[in-house]
Amino acid sequence: MQSLYSNGFEKIYDAMYQTFIDYDDEFDFYSNIIKKHHKKNVLEIGCGTGNLAKHFINSNLEYVGLDLSEDMINLSKLKNPSGMFIHGDITTYALKKPLEATIITGRTSSYLLRNKTIHSALKSIHNNLTTDGLLCFDFIDASRFIKSIKEGKKVYHEACFENNCYFRESYMKNNDLDNFMFNWDAIYYQKTNSDPIKLTEDKSVVRAFTKNEWELFLYLNDFTLLEFIDRKSYAFDTYVVVAKKN
Ligand SMILES: C[S@@+](CC[C@H](N)C(=O)[O-])C[C@H]1O[C@@H](n2cnc3c(N)ncnc32)[C@H](O)[C@@H]1O
C-alpha cells in the first residue's frame, strides 16, 4: 500500500480510510488506554493523514504525529494547522523530549517486515519514551488471518472526494514468504460514466504476526507486556498490544 501514501494518492487514502475506519471509535479506544495508565502526552507513529490526530489535538492530551511519508505529513498539517507533526522513520526517529506514551494504529506494524527492523523500531520507541512509558499498537493476527487468505481474499473499497469517485480492488494471498508475510495487490480506479480509468497498481508485501512473536520481541527490547486486546477491525483479525517500558 506504500504508493497510496504519496504523490497525490494520500488524498484518495484519506477519503477511503474514513469509509472503513471509525476514527471516533479509534480515538475512544486509544485515549482510554492512555488515560487508564495516567499518561498525559502521546506520540502517534504512522499518523497518516491526521484523522486520529484531529481528536487528540482537541483533547487534553498533548499530541505529536510522526510519519515516513512527507506527503502524509503535509496533508496532516493542512487538516490540523494547530497540530505538531514530524517527518521520521520508526526505526531511527529522535524526539526533542521523551513522551509518556506511543501508539501505532491502523496496522502500521505490518510494514515491519524483518526481525532486524522490528528490533530497531522497538529500540527507537524505547529511547523516546519516559520511564514506565506506555507502548500500544495493533497487528494483524497471523494465527487467524493467514488461514482466512489461504485460498486468496478479495476486498473492495470506494470513496469520493472533490467531485470524483474512486475504488480499490485488493487481493491478498497466502504464500511461501518468510515470517507470515503475504502479498497484497491492489488496483486503483477512478469511476466514470463509462469504463473506470485505472490509476495505479500497488504490489506490497506486508506481515502478520503471532502473539508469541510479539511477546519475545517486547521482552528482548526491555518492554513488559501488559495485555493483548482482541479487536475486531474491517478486513483483518487484529490484536492490540499494551506494553510498558522497563
Ligand atoms: C496503514 S497507514 C495507517 C495510518 C493511520 N495510522 C491511520 O489509521 O489512518 C500506515 C502509515 O504508516 C506510515 N509508515 C510506513 N512505514 C513507516 C515507517 N517506517 N516509519 C513511520 N511511518 C511509517 C505510512 O506512511 C502510512 O501513513
* Tens digit of each residue's pLDDT (9 = 90 or more) over 104-163: 999 999 999 999 999 999 999 999 999 999 999 999 999 999 999 999 999 998 888 888
C-alpha 26/C-alpha 79 separation (Å) is 18
Q: Decide if 103 contacts 65 (C-beta within 8 A).
A: no
pLDDT in tens, 191-216: 999 999 998 888 999 999 999 999 99
Same fold, 2-140+209-245 and 144-207: no
Q: Any idea where the domains of the chain sit in the sequence?
A: 2-140+209-245, 144-207
Q: Is 102 in the pocket of ligand 1 (CB under 6 A)?
A: no
pTM tops 0.85, yes or no: yes
3 falls in which pLDDT band (50, 70, 90)? low
Mean pLDDT, the chain, integer: 93
- CA of 167 from ligand 1 middle (Å) equals 20
- Candidate CATH numbers 1.10.10, 1.10.8, 3.40.50, 3.30.1300; the one for domain 144-207: 3.30.1300
Can you read off the three cell numbers belonging to residue 132? 514506565
Ligand 1 contacts CB of residue 106 (under 6 A): yes
CATH of 2-140+209-245, one of 3.40.50.1220, 3.30.70.330, 3.30.365.10, 3.40.50.150: 3.40.50.150
> How far is the C-alpha of 216 from the C-alpha of 223, rounded, in Å?
10
Answer yes or no: is the C-beta of 65 below 6 A from any ligand 1 atom: no
Which of 26, 56, 68, 112 is the best mutation target for the ligand 1 pocket, counting ligand atoms within 8 Å of the beta carbon and taking the most? 68
**Number of the ligand 1 atom closest to the C-alpha atom of 117:** 19
H or E element at residue 181: strand 181-190
